[in-house]
Every structure is written in structure tokens, then in C-alpha cells.
Amino acid sequence: MAIADLINTIAWLNTEISLFAALLFTTSWGLGSAIAGSPIPFKEWKEFGKSLRTDAIKACFELMLWSSLSALVSWIAAAISSAI
């Protein structure tokens, strides 16, 4: 397996994992918003919905940082492998 193929495979896996993480964050945020906004009389559930929504927003920022950093590393690796 050539080094370029390995780099492309890692970049593809990175993209797939980032997309899956974005799907999880979106689902968590939607579920948290639905629980927090629903007319249920249980205060604990509403607090859980709010905390789930807050955690999803934090995860979005972490995902953005991770994706940016890994894309930069993949770009540098592709540039180095093409120069070799």
C-alpha cells in the first residue's frame, strides 16, 4: 500500500467520523430541546433537557476544533507525500 493511499484512507475515515459526530450532536441537541420545551411537570427532566442541549453545543465546538485540526494535518500530510 502506497503512502498516498494510506493518507487518503485516513482522511476518508476522519471525514466519516466527523460526520457521525455531527449527527450525534444534532440528535442530542434536538432531543434536549424537545425535552426542555415539552410541557412535562417534572423539573428534573427539563433540567436534563437543558443540560443535554448545553453539552451538545459544547460538543459542536469541540467537533469544529477537531475537524479543523485533523483537516490541517491531512492537508500537510498530502502535501508532503506528493512532494516525495
Distance CA 82, CA 84 (A): 5
Over residues 13-70, the pLDDT tens digits come to 888 888 898 899 999 999 999 999 889 888 999 999 999 999 999 988 998 898 888 8
pTM, to two decimals: 0.74
Indicate the domain borders of the chain. Answer: 3-83
Q: Is 13 exposed, middle or buried (0-12, 13-18, 19+ CB in 10 A)?
A: exposed
